[in-house]
Amino acid sequence: MQTISFSEKISSAQPGVSVVCIDKNIAARQFASPMVHGMHKSLIKLCMWVNVLLLNFLYYKNPLKAFRTLNNLRKIRSDYRGNYSVLKYAKTNGKYYFTFNAPGFPSKAFNKYVLNNIKKTDTQKNQINLDTLIFGITKKCGYQCEHCFEWNALNKPETLSCENILSIISSFQKLGITQVQLSGGEPLNRFGDILYILQHIKKGTEVWLYTSGYHFTKERAAILKHEGLTGITISLDHWIPELHNKFRGKNNAFEWAEKAAANARANNLVVCLSLCATKDFITQNNLAQYAALAKEWGASFIQLLEPKAVGHYAGKDVFVSDEQIKLLEDFFIEYNYNKTYKSYPLIVYHGFYSRRIACGGSGKHYVYVDTDGDVHNCPFCQRKIFSALHGNIEENLRAMASGGCNVFNKTS
């Protein structure tokens, strides 16, 4: 198959913007791995830690406190991932990413992320310092996904206006967020509103898009990148096209996911593939084949999600077994820290962290705002705690944090 990359102008709505697009027949697997390792990674790691130390100096204006906090941050890092040392980073558009939930380095958003974590170690200042807002901005979706946690809200009239969405994001920006992940439904159904958000959002916050890939065309990818989008998280639930299509209830779901990855890579957007790892899927072979496909598509991250009995899965026996959890954890460790897989995407597995240091939801590191503007501990709790449109968000988050999140408890 012949592939063609070419430059062209976006539509008349975006005059004079030169972009790189891809032909409709191009395969995502034409793109090289974005991963860096070895001396390259070591040099960037050194630069990151020097940057962290300087930010400590600026915050405390006391060398002793700065070095003490640096050690505390290193301890938190070790608790977060165990005694494993980072093997690789993902590089896109001149920025380096060591985890899916942190902004790229160097950037204002990265510095803000570091300062947030410095403040979290400062026990004298009891303040909210969120990192990530996951925000369901639309109820509209043309898919029939097997696991959809927003199933009961899908394709009902929209509650939030574009102004509501931007207002909520702005409120959370004041509390320190450095990353917004726009979800749904399928957020591309509000493409114009996404552009409005990107054009008016305050600087210092990266914006990601959760998508099935449907209608993430070459033109849209180019426009979104021009307006400031950082990356996309593509839902891909099997490496076999027919099985992914079945899971998603759409005959060409796999094709759209592949095209979305290609269109994103062609426009220097970071790509994450998100997998709902079901009981039927979790085998060594399936995980290995999925990782190989993600590498071929040029993804920077693979996000592993465990199915929960909420939404379309409500009342169903979908929890994975302890043996399957071990398979997922072994996969997470092997592909992140074994040099054999240094050119493979970084694996992000929330269950691994949550079982060791508790869930990062409930206002600790992130929260979820649903399509009605109501705040939940995380996307899977399905418990509206307060409205982001009314009241004092900071006070409500403090109350939320005291209750915690038990989404990884099978009885919840």
Residue 232: its H or E element: strand 231-235
Q: What is the rounded CA–CA span in Å between residue 206 and residue 359?
A: 22
Alpha-carbon distances, residue 277 vs 68, 244, 346, 376, 409 (angstroms): 40, 12, 16, 23, 17
Mean pLDDT to the nearest integer, 262-276 = 96
Residue spans in the chain of domains classed CATH 3.20.20.70:
132-403
3 state SS of 397: helix
Question: What confidence tier does 20 reach under pLDDT thresholds 50, 70, 90?
Answer: very low
Residue-by-residue DSSP string for 280-348: TT-SHHHHHHHHHHHHHTT-SEEEEE---SSGGGTTS--PPPHHHHHHHHHHHHHHHH-GGGTTSPEEE
Rounded to the nearest integer, the mean pLDDT of the chain is: 85
Q: What is the rounded CA–CA span in Å between residue 21 and residue 3?
A: 12
pLDDT > 70? residue 70: yes
Longest distance between any two alpha carbons in the chain, whole Å: 62
* CATH of segment(s) 132-403: 3.20.20.70
Q: What is the rounded CA–CA span in Å between residue 62 and residue 124?
A: 15
Range with the poorest average pLDDT among 52-56, 77-81, 86-90, 308-312: 77-81
Range with the poorest average pLDDT among 85-99, 222-236, 281-295, 366-380: 366-380
Q: Which one has a higher pLDDT value, 51 or 5?
A: 51
pLDDT > 80? residue 210: yes
pLDDT > 50? residue 245: yes
What whole-number percentage of the chain has pLDDT above 90?
A: 56
Q: Which one has a higher pLDDT value, 118 or 305?
A: 305
Q: Which one has a higher pLDDT value, 74 or 210?
A: 210
Q: Compute the half-sphere exposure of residue 212: CA atoms within 13 Å on the CB side of its CA.
A: 27
Residue 32: its H or E element: none
Q: What is the rounded CA–CA span in Å between residue 350 and residue 132?
A: 14
What predicted TM-score, i.e. pTM, was given to this entire model? 0.88
Question: What confidence tier does 320 reach under pLDDT thresholds 50, 70, 90?
Answer: very high
- Answer whether the bond into residue 106 is a cis peptide, omega within 30°: yes
pLDDT > 60? residue 202: yes
Task: Please report the pLDDT score of residue 82 as a whole number.
Answer: 65
Question: What confidence tier does 404 reach under pLDDT thresholds 50, 70, 90?
Answer: low
Contact between 357 and 47 under an 8 Å Cβ cutoff? The reply is no
CA 209 and chain centroid, separation? 8
Task: Look at the chain and count its residues.
Answer: 412
Task: Please report the pLDDT score of residue 355 as a whole number.
Answer: 78
**Quick one: which of 339, 347, 372, 321 has its CA closest to 156?**
372
Q: What is the 8-class DSSP label of residue 28? A: G
Task: Please report the pLDDT score of residue 317 as a whole number.
Answer: 85
What pLDDT digit, counting tens, does each position of 322-361 carry? Answer: 999 999 999 999 999 999 999 999 999 988 877 776 666 6
pLDDT > 60? residue 24: no
Q: What is the 8-class DSSP label of residue 357? A: H
Task: Please report the pLDDT score of residue 227 as a whole number.
Answer: 97
Task: Please report the pLDDT score of residue 135 as a whole number.
Answer: 96
**Quick one: which of 93, 79, 18, 91 has its CA closest to 48?**
91
Task: Please report the pLDDT score of residue 155 as a whole number.
Answer: 80
Neighbouring C-beta atoms of residue 80, cutoff 10 Å: 13
The answer for 394, left when phi > 0, alpha when psi is -120 to 50, beta otherwise, is: alpha
Task: Please report the pLDDT score of residue 358 as a whole number.
Answer: 65
Question: What confidence tier does 313 reach under pLDDT thresholds 50, 70, 90?
Answer: confident
Mean pLDDT to the nearest integer, 140-158 = 81
